[in-house]
């Protein structure tokens, strides 16, 4: 078969359908219940949700099962606020009744060994052995050859991963589609864990956790704990300017109807997955991340290739900033918190005193927003939240200095010896703090060296991309979304 390029089109709007009966959600364990359970505080960014008496009765515990319109509305509100996540049993019936509902699309270019490994993994898993598979050969030097059970779409010349996925999408005849890159190996049970999410009629995509495929070389330990495609251990809704703002297209399960007619932007050779997620959420669709499902990914093992890949990822930010105004930023921080951190870091008794004053004012204002009518503002809770938010912001600012804005930091270090010393200290301290959660899995020196190289490469790509489009939008900080 020969694929044809598709022009970008508008994504369909999400249907106005409620969650079905039997769909269950569970509060995130980090959510705090206050005022006898009538107030919920949590999410990233932080959300405060006051429950009406009827809602409080419905949410007597941490789990809510949809039984009617009222419970469906409350469950949807909790999901969209990031306060709860779907609590669904794996699709045990996937091999028997759901296999016909999913088609696997695999884009590939010059990777016959990886493709054979992926096809073998799919066939060895009972849940995926019977799935229809579409392989899109995106201009490989040696055309892809496989058995008759696989549909092959051939591009005579390479058109890029977005065009390859779209070509495969046009060949899909099932309600759901799974995109898997040819350098991936899905872990057993990945599909059974993801399929139940699609019971939500407004869910367009759900993504598994991308973990490192066992490899060799000095970078393997770092990739195992800090891979660029790994979105972490916590389930989350996926939206811009949140804890998980996108999911990579290396492995996705999606609703065909949500992608049909538009899909990936074929003009983008990088960050096309981020662009798709943001267009879907803008159209009212939900996108979720579920680390209960895992897909292993083969990362580059050579240092030079690894650095080129990281720099390539960095170039995508400028393209996204041009398409999604205000959603791309290396640093999301409140101005008063940023000022407080900067004053404290600059040193001096006066600067630290002003920083404490700024944070005190912020805590007082937050306590007033948290207070229920007629009650005393919870200043203690507001203080704890302010301190915690300041710590998170301080780490984000440190990472921006070492990753996104390191050219400016290096320039400052060249011009000023004190700035040079602070920069070196910051680079070491930030790296060691990032290493601590993984201290039993990788050594500090290796992790620190890889992290700093990672940041240098990504930052170089970020600045190169901004220069190419002649816009600094991807380099500028922004405020967090509304509380």
Task: List pLDDT tens digits, range 279-338.
Answer: 999 999 999 999 999 999 999 889 999 999 999 999 999 999 999 988 999 999 999 999
**Residue 287 three-state SS:** strand
- 156 with 31, same domain: the answer is no
- 139 with 243, same domain: the answer is yes
Q: What is the pLDDT of residue 296?
A: 97
- 72 with 125, same domain: the answer is no
Distances (CA, A) of 408 to 405, 450, 459, 463, 471: 6, 21, 11, 11, 16
- 82 with 104, same domain: the answer is no
- 116 with 238, same domain: the answer is yes
Number of structural domains found in the chain: 3
In a domain, residue 102? The reply is yes
Task: List pLDDT tens digits, range 408-464.
Answer: 999 999 999 888 998 999 999 999 999 999 999 999 999 999 999 999 999 999 999
Q: What is the pLDDT of residue 9?
A: 65
In a domain, residue 432? The reply is no
Q: Is the pTM of this model over 0.75?
A: yes
- 113 with 224, same domain: the answer is yes
- 109 with 249, same domain: the answer is yes
- 188 with 63, same domain: the answer is no
- 47 with 173, same domain: the answer is no
DSSP H helical ranges for 299-334: 303-323
What tokens does 22 get? 């039997």
| Phi/psi of residue 60, nearest 5 degrees | -70, -30
Residue 360 and residue 390 in contact, taking contact as beta carbons nearer than 8 Å: no
First to last CA, the chain: 51
Quick one: which H or E segment has residue 293? Answer: strand 286-297
What percent of the chain stands above pLDDT 90? 79
Instruction: With CA atoms as reference, report the closest residue to 366 among 381, 355, 352.
Output: 381
Distance CA 289, CA 244 (A): 8
Residue 154 and residue 2 in contact, taking contact as beta carbons nearer than 8 Å: yes
Cβ atoms within 10 Å, residue 227: 17
- 74 with 156, same domain: the answer is no
Domain-terminating residue out of 342, 368, 388: 388
Average pLDDT for the chain: 91
User: For residue 420, is the peptide bond before it cis, meaning its omega torsion is within 30 degrees of 0?
Assistant: no
Write the burial class of residue 460 (CB in 10 Å: 0-12 exposed, 13-18 middle, 19+ buried).
middle
Quick one: which H or E segment has residue 452? Answer: helix 444-469
Question: Which residues are CB-neighbours of 303 under 8 A, at least 6 positions away?
Answer: 217, 218, 219, 453
Query: In this structure, what CATH number is given to the domain that contains residue 185?
Result: 3.90.550.10
- 80 with 109, same domain: the answer is no
Domain-terminating residue out of 363, 388, 413: 388
Cβ atoms within 10 Å, residue 406: 22
Count CA atoms closer than 13 A to 39's CA, side-chain side: 11
- 69 with 107, same domain: the answer is no
In a domain, residue 16? The reply is no
What domain range is 231 assigned to? 94-301
Q: How confident is the model at residue 94 (pLDDT cuts 50, 70, 90)?
A: very low
Q: How confident is the model at residue 98 (pLDDT cuts 50, 70, 90)?
A: low
Q: How confident is the model at residue 264 (pLDDT cuts 50, 70, 90)?
A: very high
Question: Which residues are CB-neighbours of 230 under 8 A, at least 6 positions away?
Answer: 209, 210, 211, 212
DSSP H helical ranges for 335-443: 335-346, 349-370, 379-399, 406-415, 417-435
């Amino acid at each position: 078969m020969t694929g044809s390029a598709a022009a970008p089109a508008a994504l369909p709007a999400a249907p106005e359908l409620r969650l079905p009966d039997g769909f269950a959600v569970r509060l995130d364990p980090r959510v705090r219940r206050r005022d006898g359970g009538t107030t919920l505080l949590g999410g990233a960014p932080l959300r405060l949700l006051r429950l009406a008496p009827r809602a409080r009765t419905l949410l007597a515990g941490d789990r809510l099962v949809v039984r009617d319109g009222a419970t469906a509305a409350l469950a949807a509100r909790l999901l969209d606020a990031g306060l709860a996540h779907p609590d669904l049993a794996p699709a045990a019936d996937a091999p028997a009744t759901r296999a016909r509902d999913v088609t696997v699309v695999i884009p590939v270019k010059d990777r016959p060994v990886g493709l054979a490994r992926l096809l073998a993994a799919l066939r060895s898993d009972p849940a995926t052995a019977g799935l229809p598979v579409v392989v899109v050969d995106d201009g490989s030097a040696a055309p892809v050859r496989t058995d008759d059970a696989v549909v092959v779409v051939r591009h005579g010349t390479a058109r890029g991963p977005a065009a390859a996925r779209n070509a495969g999408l046009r060949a899909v005849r099932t309600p759901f589609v799974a995109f898997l890159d040819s350098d991936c190996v899905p872990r057993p049970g990945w599909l059974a864990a993801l399929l139940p999410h699609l019971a939500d009629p407004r869910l367009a995509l759900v993504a598994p956790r991308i973990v490192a495929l066992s490899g060799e070389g000095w970078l393997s330990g770092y990739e195992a704990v800090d891979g660029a495609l790994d979105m972490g251990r916590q389930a989350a809704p996926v939206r811009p300017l949140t804890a998980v703002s996108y999911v990579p297209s290396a492995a996705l399960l999606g609703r065909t109807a949500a992608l049909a007619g538009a899909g990936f932007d074929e003009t983008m050779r990088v960050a096309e997955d981020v662009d798709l997620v943001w267009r879907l959420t803008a159209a009212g669709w939900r996108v979720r991340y579920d680390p209960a499902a895992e897909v292993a990914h083969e990362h580059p093992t050579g240092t030079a290739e690894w650095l080129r890949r990281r720099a390539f990822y960095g170039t995508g930010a400028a393209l996204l900033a041009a398409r999604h105004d205000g959603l791309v930023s290396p640093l999301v921080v409140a101005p008063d918190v940023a000022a407080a951190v900067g004053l404290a870091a600059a040193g001096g008794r006066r600067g630290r005193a002003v920083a404490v004053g700024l944070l005190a004012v912020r805590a007082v204002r937050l306590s007033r927003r948290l207070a229920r009518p007629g009650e005393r503002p919870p200043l203690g809770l507001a203080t704890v939240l302010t301190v915690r938010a300041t710590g998170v912001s301080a780490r984000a600012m440190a990472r921006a200095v070492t990753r996104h804005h390191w050219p400016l930091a290096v320039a400052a270090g060249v011009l000023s010896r004190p700035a040079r010393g602070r920069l070196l200290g910051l680079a070491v301290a930030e790296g060691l703090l990032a290493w601590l959660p993984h201290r039993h899995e990788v050594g500090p020196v290796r992790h620190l060296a890889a992290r700093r190289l990672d940041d240098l490469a990504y930052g170089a790509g970020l600045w190169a991309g901004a220069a190419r489009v002649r816009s600094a939008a991807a380099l500028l900080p922004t405020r967090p979304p509304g509380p």
